[in-house]
Amino acid sequence: MPPLSTRHRVIALLTTVPWVMAVFGVGMTLGNIVGGWSSDRSRARTMALGFTLLVASLVAYALFADTPFRLFALTFIVGAVSSFVSPAIQSRVIVMAGEAELLAAALNHAAFNVGNALGAWLGGLVLVAGFGPIAPGWVGALLALSGGALAALSLQLERSRRRLEIDVDVVPAAVCADDA
């Protein structure tokens, strides 16, 4: 079969992209439903599992999305996993915000938008540099790894804070007993 002309490649791309985006959207919808259910059971586990699966799915995308079937399948998986972790992040931010829930929800949404813009910009740089159409998967994997590290740090800081609160609550009782 002769290679496609530039015109035919552009037409193929323009007719494929909407379908890939639709598959991504279906994945996101299902991932959000399952992620909400999972977050109700354990936010921390959902975040850990979600970021791990997100990095793995983006690496798989970067390595294996070289055929139409794999492209569509991995795009669905990336969409599902990226939205799986979102409810856990959102509910954690709201719970940690205390009385500033609405502000926290708005800032979280803004942070997601910044992440989307940063990912698109960095992915575009990789494309312009000539690394190929699935190379932005590597950028996504690095960004997801960074997000997972920040989430892990946040959870660790919360655990440390709770331990300090428990220790502080115990100390006054012991001091009072010595004073009596």
pLDDT of residue 167 exceeding 80, the answer is no
Classify burial at 41, counting beta carbons within 10 Å of its beta carbon; exposed 0-12, middle 13-18, buried 19 or more: exposed
Please say whether the beta carbons of 165 and 61 come within 8 A: no
Q: Which residues contact 95 (CB under 8 A, 6 or more apart)?
A: 43
DSSP state of 4: P
What CATH number belongs to 6-179? 1.20.1250.20
Least Cα distance to 86 among 62, 112, 107 occurs for 112
pLDDT tens-place string over residues 38-97: 999 999 999 999 999 999 999 999 999 988 899 999 999 999 999 999 999 999 999 888
Cα distances from 29 to residues 71, 114, 128, 156, 177, in angstroms, run 18, 21, 30, 30, 57
pTM: 0.80
pLDDT tens-place string over residues 103-150: 999 999 999 899 889 999 999 999 999 998 889 999 999 999 999 999
Measured distance CA(62)–CA(138) in Å, rounded: 6
Cα distances from 19 to residues 26, 76, 140, in angstroms, run 11, 11, 21
